Amino acid sequence: MEQANRTRHLRLDASIAAALALAAFLLYLPTLTHGVIDFDDPTYTTHPMVAGGLNSASMQWAFTTTTDCTWFPLTWLSHMLDVELFGQNYSGHHATSVLLHAINAALVFLVLRALTGARWRSAIVAALFAAHPLNVETVAWIAERKGVLSATFMLAMLLAYTIYARKPSIGGMALVVLAFACSVMTKPAAVTIPALLLVIDYWPLKRRGRIIWFEKIPLLFIAIAITVVTMIAHAHCGAGNLAADITLGSRIGNSLVSIPRYLIRVIYPLELSIYYPLPNHWPAGTVAAALALVVVITTVVAWQARARPYLAVGWLWFLIVLAPTLGVVQVALHAMADRYMYLSIVGLLIMLVWGVDDLAKRVGAGRGSVATVAAIAVLVLGLFTFYQQLFWRDTYGLFMHALSIDPDNSFAEFVVGTALSDAGDDVHASERYERAIALYPKDPMFHYRYALSLGRLGSIDQAIAEFQEALRLRPEWATAHEMLARAYLLRGDQSAAQAHFDQARRIEQTMHEP
């Protein structure tokens, strides 16, 4: 009888996991008709080493390159596999990301079910995760394959760790280490996950003793190694140069302000943007209010840690997974990004679902009421997710949507200008570039692309001025020197043209020196 019950429970859990995966896949079917977004997507789809598919040379390159300022060989391999299977048919590339999201929805359920034993609460968390609009950016954007694939390995690691914790073995820990290594080789931001293991040791695993610290040592070595490699990769390609004038205080302030901004988007997942600009600084009052909120929430969950441990675990889950992307170490000019919440949101959903269930028991509400509320929430979130996917059909629509949310978004203006320019409309593209430069004059790419449009419109003198400004902001830019030389040739200034051709050649030779 006991074996029959166990089999029945396993079948039910497998059915729930399969249903969650199927629902998640169906929800994102519209993305299979989308193309690429001209913002990072070409790097991962048309790079010469990726476009050739999987072969010995490309696989070796994947493990040695720091293209895109990061070392993530498994991400490159996944894109190469897509090319191998689908070529440049981007429906297949999107289908891979959607499939991974579907697997992740099932894994969220299986992980929480294994950790807590709570079947229906775990299923509700997984359903909310699968349907939440904050995840659209990660799933619908080919360039974010690293996020959705890394999450798959992270969740597999949590599941393996749960099994290991129930019945420790060398083989079980080896699986945990392997899954963690795969996760950080897909997206280095996963380095904080060992800390999450210590949190779930507290609850729901209720493990104590020195062993829970010693067994994390191999994971710590991997985390340190990937952190060092990532820092070297960032330094090698100059990541963070654009944000060099953002002070440490401003970065810390933005990190604090980002936390309530993320919380708001979990509750009110509308007006989601592909790009949230980073201000030079937030008002002191805003930073103080954000700090106060974080302190209050942390104090409350610590106070309730014994009676309601799910609150502390959920809150720490959220902070630990989010921490590497909060921007204290700033490598770009965005303040935050929806994609950073992909797995972080699970912690908040644990707090919400377990908290609502706890409250329902206290007020005498039946499970039917809770199930009804959960079903409505999933349905509403699913509708918002379906709506949010519509903006991801093309580059122009996506960044016009960003401008509708924030008209002073300089980067969105720039990308809209680029989309117009690529379509042959340099007149309107120039207007967008002018607006982008007026909002943020420090980006050399803004000036460079504006100069290209001006040149095609015949405004050679203006184009030369913009190329010069781009080079003032980024002197060692071979392509800009070459294009400036060509502009001088059009004006008939052979001497100036030759000087910049020589400069471009010198820079290229320096870059290729061993």
Largest Cα–Cα separation, the chain: 93
Question: Tens digit of pLDDT for each residue in 17-43?
Answer: 999 999 999 999 999 999 999 988 888
| 407-512 CATH choice from 3.40.190.80, 3.40.50.720, 1.25.40.10, 1.10.10.10 | 1.25.40.10
276: which strand partners? 336
What confidence tier does 150 reach under pLDDT thresholds 50, 70, 90? Answer: very high
**4 vs 76 pLDDT, higher one:** 76
For 476, other C-beta atoms within 10 Å of its C-beta total 13
Q: What is the dihedral of CA 122, 124, 129, 134, to 10 degrees?
A: -140
Query: Which pLDDT does position 40 carry in this prediction?
Result: 87
Query: What H or E segment, with its residue span, contains residue 277?
Result: strand 276-277
Q: Which residues lie closer than 8 Å to 167 by C-beta, 6 or more apart?
A: none
What separation, in Å, do the N-terminal and C-terminal C-alpha atoms of the chain show? 70
Q: Residue 209: left if φ>0, alpha if ψ -120 to 50, beta else—which one?
A: left
Judge whether residue 232 has pLDDT over 50. Answer: yes
**What is residue 467's three-state secondary structure?**
helix
**Of the candidates 390, 331, 482, the residue with the CA atom closest to the CA atom of residue 133:** 390
**What is residue 334's three-state secondary structure?**
strand
Q: Phi then psi for 383, rounded to 5 degrees? A: -65, -40
**Contact in structure between 285 and 318 (CB atoms under 8 Å):** no
**Contact in structure between 92 and 86 (CB atoms under 8 Å):** yes
**Contact in structure between 282 and 258 (CB atoms under 8 Å):** no
DSSP state letters, 10-60: HHHHHHHHHHHHHHHHHHTGGGGG----TTTHHHHHT-HHHHT-S-HHHHH
What confidence tier does 129 reach under pLDDT thresholds 50, 70, 90? Answer: very high
Range 280-294 average pLDDT = 95
Question: Tens digit of pLDDT for each residue in 166-205?
Answer: 999 999 999 999 999 999 999 999 999 999 999 999 999 9
Please report, for the chain, the start and end positions of each structural domain, with discontinuous segments joined by +.
Answer: 2-395, 407-512
Question: Tens digit of pLDDT for each residue in 58-71?
Answer: 999 999 998 888 89
The span from the CA of 255 to the CA of 465, in Å, is 37
Judge whether residue 1 has pLDDT over 80. Answer: no
Range 3-8 average pLDDT = 84
Judge whether residue 250 has pLDDT over 60. Answer: yes
**What is residue 235's three-state secondary structure?**
helix
Chain CA centroid to CA 255, Å: 16
The rounded percent of the chain whose pLDDT value lies above 90 is: 85
**Of the candidates 158, 157, 138, 143, the residue with the CA atom closest to the CA atom of residue 70:** 143
Question: Tens digit of pLDDT for each residue in 418-462?
Answer: 999 999 999 999 999 999 999 999 999 999 999 999 999 999 999
Query: Which pLDDT does position 368 carry in this prediction?
Result: 83
What confidence tier does 513 reach under pLDDT thresholds 50, 70, 90? Answer: very low
DSSP state letters, 392-449: GG-HHHHHHHHHHH-TT-HHHHHHHHHHHHHTT-HHHHHHHHHHHHHH-TT-HHHHHH
DSSP state letters, 68-92: GGS--HHHHHHHHHHHHHHTT-HHH
Question: Tens digit of pLDDT for each residue in 480-504?
Answer: 999 999 999 999 999 999 999 999 9
Range 358-369 average pLDDT = 86
The span from the CA of 315 to the CA of 456, in Å, is 54
